Structure 1
Amino acid sequence: MAGSLVYSQDSQGIEHSLEARIQVSVAMREGRTTMFRSAFTSLLVAIFAAAATPVRAQIQTGSILVKSVDEQGAVVPGVTVTISSPVLVAGSMSGTTDAGGVYRFPSLPPGSYTIKTELQGFQSITREGVTVSVGGTTPVDFTMRVGAVTESMTVKGESPTIDTTSANVGVHLDAKLLETTPAGRDIWSIIEYKVPGLVMDSPDVGGNQGGLQRGITARGTGNGQNTQMLNGVNVGDPAAIGFAGYYYDPSSFQDIQVSSGANDITVPTGGVLINMVTKSGTNKFSGQALDTYQGKKTQWDNIDAALQRQGVRPKGAAVDYIKNFNLNAGGPFVKSKLFYFAALNDQRTAVHFVGFPSPVWTGAPEPDTTNITSIFANPTYQATTNNRLQATVSRQVYDKINRGADSSNGTQDPQSVWHEHDVLAVYQGLWNWVITDRQFADTRLSYNSINFPLNLKTNQQVLTDSTTGIRTRANNIQQVMDRRRLEISSNWQYYIAQALGGRHEIRAGFDNAYTPETVDLSINDDVRLTYRSAPSATGAPAGPVSVQLFNTPLQQKRAVMITSLYAQDSYSYKRLTAVGGLRWERVEGWLPKQVDPAGQYFPEGTPVTTVFGAYALSRSFPEVRGVPLWHNAGPRGSVVIDLFGNGKTAARASLARYYDQIGTGTPGSVNPNGLVSQTFTWLDNGDLIFQPGELGTPGTLSAPLPADQLKQHFRLTKRPYRNEVTAGVDHELVPDLRLSLTYIQRQEHNQIITLEQNIPFSYYEPVTVTDPGPDGVINGSGDRTFTYFNELTPLLPSFTGPANDDRADQKYHGLEVTATKRYSNRWTLLGGYTFSRTTLNGTTTITSPNSLININGKASIDRAHNFKLTGSYLLPWDILFGANLRAVSGQPYTRVIMVFPRQATNGQSLNAEPRGTYTLPWLKTADLRIGKVFRFGANEFEGSMDVYNLTNSNAIFNVRTGTGLVNVTDFTTGTTVSLPQFNLPIGVLGPRIIRFNVTYRFGQR
Structure 2
Amino acid sequence: MRRLVNSAVVVAVACVVLGRGVAFAQTGSIAGVAKDTSGAVLPGVTVEASSPALIEKVRSVVTDGQGQYKIVDLSPGTYTVTFTLTGFNTYKREGIILTSDFTATVNGDMRVGTVEETVTVKGESPLIDTHSVSQRASLPHDVIDNLPTGRSFQNLSVLVPGVQIPLASQDVGGTGGDRYQTLAVHGSRGDQMPLVMNGMPFNNMNNTGGGYNTTLVVNTGTVQEMTVTTSGLAAEARSSGVLTNIIPKEGGNTYRGYLFTNFANSGMASNNLTDDLVAKGLKAVNSAKKLWDLNPVIGGPIIQDKLWFLGGIRYNGAQSYLAGMFNNLRPSAPQYCITAAGCTYGDAFHPTTLVPNSQDLNNQAVGGDTWSRGETINLTWQASQKNKFTFFGHVNQRLVDCNQCSAINSPEAGVYFTHSPEYLIQSSWTNPLSNRVLLEGGFTFYNETWIFGPEPYNVNGLGPDAVVSKTESSLGILYGAANFFTTAANHQYNIRFATNYVTGSHAFKVGMTDMWGTRNYRYDTNQAQAWTFLRGIPTTITEYARPLIDTEHLNAALGLYAQDKWTVDRLTLNLGLRFDYHNAEVPVQDLAAIPFVAARHYDAISDVPNWKDLSPRLGATFDLFGNGKTVARTNFSRYIASESTNMATLNNRVNTSINSATRSWTDTNGNFKPDCNLANTAAQTVPGGDTCGALSAPLGSLNVAAAYDPSITAGFGVRPNDQEVSAGVQQQVTPRVAVDFQYTRHSFGNFFAAYNQTRPPSAYNSFCVTAPVDSRLPNGGGNQICGFMDLNPSFFASVPFFQVQKAGNFGDVSDVYTGYDFNTNARLPRGGVVAGGVSIGHEVTDICQVAGQASVGYAGVAGVLASTAGALAGLVATPSTLYCRVEPPFQADVKGFASYPLPWFGITASATLQNRPGPQITASYTVTSAQVQNLGRALGNGTATTALIAPGTMYGDRFTQLDVRVGKRFTVNRYKIQASLDVFNLLNSSAILAQNNTFGTAWQNPTQILQGRLAKIGMQLEF
Normalised to the residue count of structure 2, the TM-score between the two structures is 0.85
**Contact 2:161–2:837 (Cα < 8 Å) also in 1:** yes
- 1:937 Cα deviation after fit: 4.3
- How far apart are the structure 2 equivalents of 1:784 and 1:725? 42
Q: Which runs of 5+ in 1 are unaligned?
A: 1-36, 498-502, 535-542, 605-618, 966-978
Q: Distance in 2 between matches of 1:241 and 1:515?
A: 14
Q: Is 1:550 matched with 2:544?
A: yes
**Equivalent residue of 1:343, what SS?**
strand
- Deviation of the 1:122 alpha carbon: 0.3
1:397-443: CA deviations, max 9, x gaps? 011121112xx342332344344334311000110111222111221
Corresponding position: 1:488 with 2:495: yes
Question: Could you tell me which of 876, 881, 887 is aligned with 2:915?
Answer: 887
2:318 to 338, 344, 349: 349
CA contact (8 A) 1:669 1:802 kept: no
Shift of 1:797: 4.3
Match of 1:589 among 584, 592, 603: 584
CA displacement at 1:452 relative to structure 2:
1.3
Partners of 1:894 and 1:866 in 2: how far apart? 21
Contact 1:331–1:340 (CA under 8 A) maintained in structure 2: yes
| Among 92, 113, 138, the residue aligned to 1:172 | 138
Aligned counterparts, 1:378-417, within 5 A: 378-405=378-405, 408-417=406-415
AA in 2 matched with 1:448: Y
Structure 1 counterpart of 2:334: none
Task: State the Cα distance separating 1:951 from its structure 2 match.
Answer: 1.0
**Cα deviation, residue 809, structure 1:** 4.1
Residue matched to 2:366: 367
Hey, what does 1:100 align to over in structure 2? 66
State the AA in 2 paired with 1:393.
Answer: G
Q: In 1, Cα distance between the equivalents of 2:726 and 2:92?
A: 37
2:81 equivalent to 1:115:
yes
| Offset, 1:785 | 1.8
Give the drift of 1:949. Answer: 0.8
CA change 1:706–1:588 in 2 (3 A) is farther
Q: Do structure 1's residue 997 and structure 2's residue 1018 form an aligned pair?
A: yes
CA contact (8 A) 1:891 1:920 kept: yes
Q: Does 1:870 align with 2:853?
A: no
Cα separation, 2, equivalents of 1:278 and 1:786: 56
SS of aligned partner of 2:594? coil
Distance 1:389 1:863 in 2: 48
**Aligned pairs for 1:976-995 within 5 A:** 979=1001, 981-995=1002-1016
Cα distance in 2 for partners of 1:601, 1:714 equals 35
**8 A contact 1:328–1:344 mirrored in 2:** yes
Q: Secondary structure at the match of 1:669?
A: helix
2:974 corresponds to which of 934, 938, 945:
938
Amino acid at match of 2:546: T
Contact persistence 1:858–1:892 (CA under 8 A): no
Identity over aligned pairs, percent? 24
Instruction: Tell me the distance in 2 between the aligned counterparts of 1:282 and 1:595.
Output: 54
Equivalent residue for 2:751? 751
Match of 1:520 in 2: 522
Structure 1 range deviating more: 657-666 or 260-269: 657-666
**1:531 aligns to what SS in structure 2?**
strand
Please give the residue correspondences for 1:950-965 in structure 2 after superposition, counting only pairs within 5 Å. 950-963=986-999, 965=1000
After TM superposition, the structure 1 = structure 2 runs for residues 966-981 of structure 1, keeping only pairs within 5 Å, are: 979=1001, 981=1002
Question: 299, 304, 326: which is aligned to 2:274?
Answer: 304
Which deviations, in whole Å up to 9, do the C-alpha atoms of 1:658-706 show, x marking residues without a partner? Answer: 1111242322112211353453443544343445655623223144655
CA displacement, residues 537-570 of structure 1 (integer Å, 9 cap, x when unaligned): xxxxxx2123333332232101333111111122
Aligned counterparts of 1:714 and 1:641: Cα–Cα separation in 2? 42
What's the offset of the Cα at 1:261? 0.8
After the TM superposition, which of the residue ranges 300-309 and 321-330 deviates more from structure 2? Answer: 300-309
* Residue in structure 2 matched with residue 970 of structure 1 by the alignment: none
Aligned match for 2:881, one of 852, 857, 860:
852
Could you tell me which residue of structure 1 aligns to residue 672 of structure 2? 688
Letter in 1 for 2:378: N
Report matched runs for 1:117-156 at 5 Å: 117-156=83-122
Matched, 1:452 2:446: no
Q: Please give the root-mean-square deviation of Cα atoms over the aligned residues, in Å.
A: 2.6
CA distance, structure 2, for counterparts of residue 242 and residue 486 of structure 1? 15
Q: Is the 8 A contact 1:520 1:554 kept in 2?
A: yes
Superposed counterparts of 1:787-798, under 5 Å: 787=786, 788-792=788-792, 794-795=794-795, 797-798=799-800
Q: Secondary structure at the match of 2:277?
A: helix
Supply the distance in 2 between the matched residues of 1:493 and 1:668 (Cα, whole angstroms): 38
Equivalent pair of 1:655/1:725 in contact (CA under 8 Å): yes
- Secondary structure of 2:654's aligned partner: coil
| CA–CA distance in structure 1, aligned partners of residues 242 and 602 of structure 2 | 38
- Which letter does structure 2 place at the counterpart of 1:481? A
Q: Work out whether 1:837 is the aligned partner of 2:842.
A: yes
Deviation at 1:887, TM superposition (A): 1.7
Cα distance in 1 for partners of 2:281, 2:10 equals 56
Secondary structure in 2 matching 1:918 = coil
- Return the letter of the residue paired with 1:70: D
Of 926-935 and 809-818, the range deviating more from structure 2:
809-818
* Structure 2 match to 1:767: 767
Return the alpha-carbon distance in structure 2 between the equivalents of residues 46 and 397 of structure 1: 34
Deviation string for 1:95-130 (max 9, x for gaps)?
Answer: 322333233222111010111111110000111111
The whole-number CA distance in structure 1 between the counterparts of 2:879 and 2:652 is: 27
Answer yes or no: is 1:201 the counterpart of 2:169: no
Give, as a single letter, the amino acid of the residue that structure 1 aligns with 2:924. V
- Aligned match of 2:191: 224
User: Does structure 1 conserve the Cα–Cα contact (< 8 Å) formed by 2:144 and 2:151?
Assistant: no
Give the match's secondary structure for 1:821: strand
Deviates more, 1:291-300 or 1:54-63: 54-63
Contact 1:940-1:1001 at 8 Å conserved across structures = yes
Distance 2:663 2:976 in 1: 69
In the other structure, the counterpart of 1:664 is 645
C-alpha contact 1:236 1:245 (8 A) present in aligned 2: no
Following superposition, the deviation at residue 287 of structure 1 comes to: 1.7
Q: CA deviation at 1:712?
A: 4.8
Equivalent residue number for residue 800 of structure 1: 802
1:281, distance to aligned residue in structure 2 (A): 1.5
Amino acid at match of 1:856: R
Q: Is the contact between residue 259 and residue 1020 of structure 2 (CA under 8 Å) also seen in structure 1?
A: yes
- Match among 53, 56, 71 for residue 90 of structure 1: 56
TM-score scaled by length of structure 1: 0.87
Displacement of 1:73 in angstroms is 2.2
Distance of aligned partners of 1:242 and 1:917 in 2 relative to their CA distance in 1, 3 Å threshold: same
Given candidates 430, 433, 439, the residue that maps to 1:432 is: 430
What one-letter code is carried by the residue in structure 2 that aligns with 1:701? P
> What is the Cα deviation at residue 74 of structure 1?
2.1
- Using CA pairs under 8 Å that are at least 6 residues apart, name the structure with larger relative contact order, 1 or 2: 1
Q: Does structure 2 conserve the Cα–Cα contact (< 8 Å) formed by 1:853 and 1:911? A: no
| CA shift for structure 1 position 227 | 0.5
Give the letter for the 1:350 counterpart: Q
- Out of 287, 309, 324, the residue aligned to residue 318 of structure 1 is 287
Work out whether 1:507 is the aligned partner of 2:509: yes
Report the secondary structure of 2:822's partner residue. strand
Equivalent residues of 2:706, 2:803 under 8 A apart? no
**Residues 905/483 of structure 1: CA separation in 2 closer, same or farther (3 Å cut):** farther
Q: Which secondary structure does the structure 1 equivalent of 2:648 belong to? A: helix
**Deviations for 1:816-867, whole angstroms, at most 9, x for unmatched residues?**
11111236433111111112122222464475655431232246xx761111
Structure 1 residue 43 displacement after superposition: 4.5
Aligned-pair CA distance for 1:155:
1.0
The residue aligned with 1:254 is 224
Given candidates 631, 644, 651, the residue that maps to 1:650 is: 631
Amino acid at match of 2:1013: R
Contact 1:933-1:941 at 8 Å conserved across structures: yes
For residues 696-729 of structure 1, give each alpha carbon's deviation from its aligned partner in whole angstroms, at most 9, with x where no partner exists: 2322314465569734588556211111111111
Aligned twin of 2:342: none
